[in-house]
Amino acid sequence: MKQDIKVSVDAVVFGYRQDDGISVVLIKRKYEPFQKSWALPGGLVLNDESLEEAVRRELQEEAGIDVNYLEQLYSFGQPGRDPRNRVVSVAYFGLVRPDDYQLSAQTDAEDVGWFNIKKMPKLAFDHKHILDVAIKRLRGKIAYEPIGFELLDKEFPFSDLEKLYQVLLDNDLDRRNFKKRIMSLGFLEELDETIQRGAGRPARLYRFNRKKYFELKEKGYNSDLFY
């Protein structure tokens, strides 16, 4: 039986800002189908490139960015997901600081921007489903792997770390247990320096021990640390 299946890639690039929470990069499609609809960056894989090369090319071509780290998320192959052809999409996701990137709409993208995940426009194709799967993966991953420290300043008050995890998990933390468990892992160093924010007491600053951090990131750890 003859197969007529194309392979594409889609990218879910999450961004984190303390004031804005979690956002995602979307492009406005220039052409049909779903012309002028918002969608995840992505497109067909070329004959001579790998999946990783394809997703990086699409991000560069459509959004003008080069994301350092992308992780394969899931494959989406429901018949009818693309009205033109039978297309199987391999999706990737990453987590970045939006201020580190300058978005630029190119090729078949009419516009590009960051959108808060709680205020999303209607998305083309099955991209809402892809985004939902990516959000679930992100929130599951942070419970067993210390991702996210790259999103903070080099030195930061502990409250910034608490807020980061509360936003990523979309859940309130038991602050006392959270700090106790985080400190017990050994990748967070308390500094002598403090920072003054508002009228309250100065807050002690922390930084993470990169060697210990990446050792734990490689191994993972118990999923009950943040609950």
Predicted confidence (pLDDT) per residue in 186-213, tens digit: 889 999 999 988 777 899 999 988 888 7
Report the percentage of the chain scoring pLDDT > 70. 96
Q: What is the mean pLDDT of residues 220-226?
A: 55
Q: What is the pLDDT of residue 149?
A: 78
Distance CA 194, CA 160 (A): 13
Banded model confidence at residue 225, pLDDT cuts 50, 70, 90:
low
Confidence category of residue 223, pLDDT binned at 50, 70, 90: very low
Q: Pick the closest to residue 125 from 83, 164, 71 (CA basis).
A: 83
In order of 158, 176, 203, 206, 207, the CA distances from 192 in angstroms are 13, 21, 10, 9, 11
| Per-residue pLDDT at 224 | 55
Overall average pLDDT of the 1-8 stretch: 90
- 90 pLDDT tier (thresholds 50, 70, 90): very high
How far apart are the C-alpha atoms of 55 and 119, rounded to whole Å? 25
For residues 182 and 164, the answer to whether their CB atoms sit within 8 Å is no
pLDDT tens profile 98-119: 999 999 998 889 999 999 999 9
* Per-residue model confidence as pLDDT tens digits over 116-164: 999 999 999 999 999 999 999 998 888 777 777 778 888 999 999 999 9
- Give per-residue pLDDT as tens, 49-74: 999 999 999 999 999 999 988 999 99
220 falls in which pLDDT band (50, 70, 90)? low
Cβ neighbours of 192 (radius 10 Å): 6
| Domains contained in the chain, CATH given | 5-141 (3.90.79.10), 149-219 (1.10.10.10)
Residue 95 near residue 147, CB atoms below 8 Å: yes
